[in-house]
Structure 1
């Protein structure tokens, strides 16, 4: 029987990624790594799991982390194999860490960052983040990734995902060409075009990773549980632009299908 690290995605899981815009990878990294990472993050924010009376903010953000547990979690043999399957062998950059970390705490206060959105991927040198951009080729981003460093139930502020929304966004971006659309343009109607998509919750045990299409519409939500949620939300970066001379990856196949292009 193969070891868990040797297991990539089945053909059905790859098709699910194309159709739904995400795939859930259980045991993508170990629970020991998850705990080591959590311990480091607790130290970073100056709080403790044993002193809930000090958890007074609904969310605290920690930036990109390059220490060993985070590098190792992002680069397990299993994840490398799946990156190859979804993005294409040799078409992505080895992650040098993980981040950012929106650490969410049980709170009756609204977090203030729970709107539906797409993660834009270039033009990030503009001082107004609403002018940051995405285009139909997904320049600057190969995947959106959600790394669970704690157990996340439906009450623990799991990320909300609009299933199949990546197809809608791909069609919208097609009209903007290589220049792409700004976050302001994409969010002008509050992503009403994806409002009918079924909502899935990114729940799972610590060590679970959700690999998502770059155009997937998603949102945070308030934490109504008991245990803080630790999650990283990094991109997987591409080595370069899509190369039409290479066979299309599942990321590209989803875009092509959405836009009515031939495979």
Structure 2
């Protein structure tokens, strides 16, 4: 299946944006940022540590600015339908063998800014979500859970309103409960393009090595219009 066909059918698609080596180079910088090492598990005492790429330099820039990612975004959003990101943004690092964080509910990411500057959830999303892998992520390594095709349930459940995050999460969780599951597994340097209305959730880490993954919003040039002639729009029809 082509990128656009996968995206329309499932609400997400995985691409190779950079090599394993580039992804692992970014991971090495993240270890330094959080002051821990891959060889000393005694320091892995929290279920989640947050890091960030705010500059888009080095291996982070090689991924976020890769021609492969740009081509995939063009195919999904349409030429000129998205705005270039300057960095990979927030990066939650999930650690194994510690009590899990209480952050594993089904949800949509905040995707629209109100006039007062606060963020909310709307079917007329202003963003697309990308998940950037900086480590090998297998079935036990806390891969993001994805409800396949749930973007179509979300647009019906949300209607025309603008919702607070928790009420919106409850709406889309209930509406998409019948959907099959997929898991965002993969290799360093791979990227998932996720429809802004695709319902997803974190999960407990049952593996042995920390999982490094960025959760990056890509801003759309205009709010999601379900009538538009793009895979992003066709995915909710």
TM-score, length-scaled by structure 2:
0.92
8 Å CA contact 1:120, 1:183 repeated in 2: yes
Kindly state the Cα deviation for residue 136 of structure 1 after the two structures are TM-superposed.
2.3
**Matches of 2:224 and 2:103 in 1, distance apart?**
32
**Matches of 1:243 and 1:21 in 2, distance apart?**
16
8 Å CA contact 1:57, 1:107 repeated in 2: no
Kindly state the Cα deviation for residue 124 of structure 1 after the two structures are TM-superposed.
6.6
1:31 matched to 2:20? The reply is yes
User: Which digits, 9 at most, give the CA deviation of each residue in 1:143-173, with x for residues without a partner?
Assistant: 2111110000011100000111111001122
The higher radius of gyration belongs to 1
Q: Which has the higher strand share?
A: 2
Shift in CA distance, 41/164, structure 1 to aligned 2, threshold 3 Å: same
Kindly state the Cα deviation for residue 201 of structure 1 after the two structures are TM-superposed.
0.7
Task: Choose from 62, 72, 80 the match for 2:70.
Answer: 80
Any stretches of 5+ residues in structure 2 without a counterpart?
A: none
User: Which digits, 9 at most, give the CA deviation of each residue in 1:163-203, with x for residues without a partner?
Assistant: 11111001122342xxx222233124571111111111100
User: Which residue matches 1:134?
Assistant: 121
8 Å CA contact 1:108, 1:224 repeated in 2: no
Kindly state the Cα deviation for residue 84 of structure 1 after the two structures are TM-superposed.
0.4
Aligned-pair RMSD on alpha carbons?
2.2
TM-score, length-scaled by structure 1:
0.83
Q: Which runs of 4+ in 1 moved over 4 A?
A: 124-127
Any stretches of 5+ residues in structure 1 without a counterpart?
A: 1-9, 258-263
Kindly state the Cα deviation for residue 247 of structure 1 after the two structures are TM-superposed.
5.5
Task: Choose from 169, 176, 184 the match for 2:166.
Answer: 184
1:230 matched to 2:225? The reply is no
8 Å CA contact 2:172, 2:199 repeated in 1: no
Q: In the TM superposition, what are the counterparts of 1:132-211 in structure 2 within 5 Å?
A: 132-138=119-125, 140-141=126-127, 143-176=128-161, 180-189=162-171, 191-211=173-193
